[in-house]
Chains A and B, each alone.
Chain A
Amino acid sequence: MALLELRDISKRFGGLQALSLVSMNIEEGMIASLIGPNGAGKTTLFNTLTGLYRPDQGEIRFQARSLVGMKPESITGAGISRTFQNIRLFGHMSVLDNVLVGMHTRLDSSLVDIFLASKKFHAGEKAARRRAHELIELTGLTGRENEWAQQLSYGEQRRLEIARALAAAPQLLLLDEPTAGMNASEAQSLMGLFKDLMGRYVKAILLIEHNMRVVMGVSDCVHVLDYGEKIAEGVPDAVRRDPRVIEAYLGTGDWLKNAQR
């Protein structure tokens, strides 16, 4: 039984078929990558998965439970959390608070607990803070806890997004271009982080990535999208040699022949 199962997902925006009949399985213990040229529908797929869009057709099952029609916050509660391609941190909140917001679904203090500052409230807050510090340390942001998120550097913001997503205690982590704008060594250390996360923090990771070194380095399985359709799936080496993938990225060369003629 796969952790996440997508069956024939389609999504249309007016005249644009953003996704057509995309199916895939994410197994437990697997780092999967989603690649494809710009505009292939990768982020649309993420948004559909996390409830921001509702698919026109198709079925999404997570741990044998259907996610179609669920609100984003319920999907997070069910165990999927994500990062954003264009960083969407809470800029005027501290690093610590950003991570703590991610724990919203895991804290169960009621309004009465909060008003009375009950034992339960304090215990919950204390545990949450401890875990937040642990995640901040994991993502290498120790010492920046009290700074506002908008003051972090670009790379730090990307890592804070990961820490915030992990705070929701997800089983499946969705990362939208986590190494975008990072240099080679930063990307390298992030790859190490992904492998560390597996098993200890999350059961599976699905990442959208343009950096092929990262894709080939960490993925157990690669899915390729082009114009909203899935054109290939398999282990990194097989996908790399797939003629349809090469065509999607480099073109057929027809235009060159036509030009020469």
Chain B
Amino acid sequence: MSAALVVPGLCLYIAVSCALAYIFPQSVLAFLLVEASLLLLYYVHISDRVKFLLGGLVLLVLLPVLGFSNAYYFEIAIQIGIFVALALGLNIVVGFVGLLNLGFVAFYAIGAYLWAVFGSPQANNFVPAIMGGWFPLSANWFFVFLLLSIVVGGAAGALLGLPVLRLRGDYLAIVTLGFAEVVRALVNNLDKPINLTNGPRGISPISKPPLFFKPLLEFFGIQVSDAALYPMYFYFLVLLLVCVIILVTQRLENSRVGRAWKAIREDEIAASAMGVPVVRMKLLGFAVGASFASAVGVLFAAKQVFINPESFTFMESIGVLAMVILGGMGSVPGAILGATGVTILNLQLLKGLSLWLNGLRQSGAVWSIPLLGDLSLANLPAQFEPAKYERMIFGLILILMMIFRPQGILPPKQGAKK
């Protein structure tokens, strides 16, 4: 295809896919087409400026418009954003520094609980009565805590890093796994003797971020209910956070820090012989990755309004790790694609398949299969829903990937830098 046709073609594709998603708000397929437009943008050879322009158009204008027609689109986009942020954080630890971390979700939990405890009446349980009644903190504190979570998460990351830096490979992985379980066990059990986390019952209601721009909307005469505004608000917050994380990651990657991280991954002894302070750089990697997860945890807590330890299980850590590996370890576009792909698979594809199958069952159609005779779809067992096989299908994909493309979908590019 000639270069002159690429941009109009892309615009047409974006317009058509968005129109489809707008006309058929229930169609999973139509929304997938919209999401695919971003992937397409990444792959085509056009100037970066046009790429950013079109990408910005899709993310900043078209998606919000679609979201207003169907709030579920926002929900999916927010989930994707959260997992992209987590995957980018883990990519620093696993992909750049080369330290296998099986307990990454611990930092996510730390951030989430940080805001959950102080952004809800929960903190009244342990802060002395004289100061009591302060909590929940006003919504304006949300942004303070977002910044604070970066510091706290980073400190937690460094704290975990300190004792385990002498460990390598399997040993380190086991310790990080243990750390995550310790964090989960702590939040699960710290309801006695002092009620810090409210244990397995979880914390609710957690304050949402302030709608500081509402007066502005009213000034322009736009009347939107808060309930309709929040999904979009969270969408933009997540988008902003992801953009900041991508920017920070890229700057780090192309600096002496990123090179030092990769050198440690490749050969620790050679790296230290080249003057790389191995211990400091590993700690920094742990801290930066953890601070991303912690910041996104704050957002998660505010979005969910209710959190409990169930959201921070080992499977969650494995899920994020699988995103990084699927996408391509050590590659920023890979981590983004991996997180997006897996989230879409879980939230949309498998669920969509289940819905479709259910529809078939209810239609009571009968398929005639040669040799096997007639198959009445109404008799299809309920266990046959793809959503129930989420982990199995996911595992199959992982196995197939490891056989046919062990380096991931978008491995680090070679010779990409000038």
Q: Which chain A residues have a beta carbon within 8 Å of chain B's beta carbons? A: 50, 52, 71-73, 76-77, 81-82, 84, 88-94, 96-97, 100-105, 107, 109, 111, 114-115, 117, 121, 125, 146-148, 164-165, 167-168
Contact = CB atoms under 8 A, between A and B. Distances in A.
B276 A101 contact: yes
A148 B267 CA distance: 15
A101 B277 contact: no
Contacts of B262: 90, 92-93, 97, 101
Interface residues of B, number: 31
A70 B110 CA distance: 37
Contacts of A50: 273
13 contacts: A52-B269, A52-B273, A72-B269, A72-B272, A73-B275, A89-B267, A90-B271, A92-B266, A102-B274, A109-B256, A111-B257, A114-B251, A115-B248
A73 B252 contact: no
A104 B274 contact: yes
A175 to B, nearest CB: 13
Contact of A125 (B255, B271, B272, B276): B255
B412 interface: yes
B152 interface: no
B271 A101 contact: yes
A148 B412 CA distance: 11
A26 to B, nearest CB: 18
A114 B252 CA distance: 7
B30 to A, nearest CB: 39
B96 to A, nearest CB: 11
Contact of A73 (B257, B265, B272): B272
A152 to B, nearest CB: 13
Contact of B415 (A114, A146, A164): A146
Nearest to A144: B415
Contacts of A97: 259, 262, 417
B276 to A, nearest CB: 5
B406 to A, nearest CB: 13
Contacts of B275: 73, 76-77, 81, 102, 104-105, 168
A31 to B, nearest CB: 21
Top 7 A-B pairs, shortest CB-CB distance: A146-B415, A76-B275, A105-B275, A90-B266, A88-B270, A72-B272, A114-B255
A13 B149 CA distance: 48
B260 interface: yes
A76 B254 CA distance: 22
B2 interface: no
Nearest to B281: A104
Contacts of A167: 274
B278 interface: yes
A124 to B, nearest CB: 8
Nearest to A71: B272
A111 B285 CA distance: 12
B278 A107 contact: no
A100 B256 contact: yes
Nearest to B330: A92
Contacts of A148: 414
Contacts of A147: 414-415
B323 interface: no
Given A81-B275, A101-B259, A115-B248, A94 B266 contact: no
A119 to B, nearest CB: 14
Contacts of B263: 90, 93, 101
Contacts of B273: 50, 52, 72-73, 76, 81-82, 84, 88
Nearest to A105: B275
A125 to B, nearest CB: 7
A84 B255 CA distance: 25
A37 B308 CA distance: 66
B255 A104 contact: no
Given A76-B275, A101-B276, A89 B256 contact: no
Interface in B249-303: 251-252, 254-257, 259-260, 262-263, 265-267, 269-278, 284
A91 B330 CA distance: 14
A111 B283 CA distance: 14
A166 B265 CA distance: 21
Contacts of A117: 251
Given A100-B256, A104-B256, A146-B414, A73 B270 contact: no
Given A73-B278, A82-B273, A101-B259, 16 more contacts: A73-B276, A76-B274, A81-B274, A89-B267, A90-B266, A90-B270, A92-B262, A94-B415, A104-B259, A104-B276, A105-B275, A114-B252, A114-B255, A114-B257, A147-B414, A165-B274
Nearest to B267: A88
B266 A104 contact: no
A73 B277 contact: yes
Contact of B259 (A71, A81, A93, A105): A93
Contacts of A104: 256, 259-260, 274-276
A146 B413 CA distance: 10
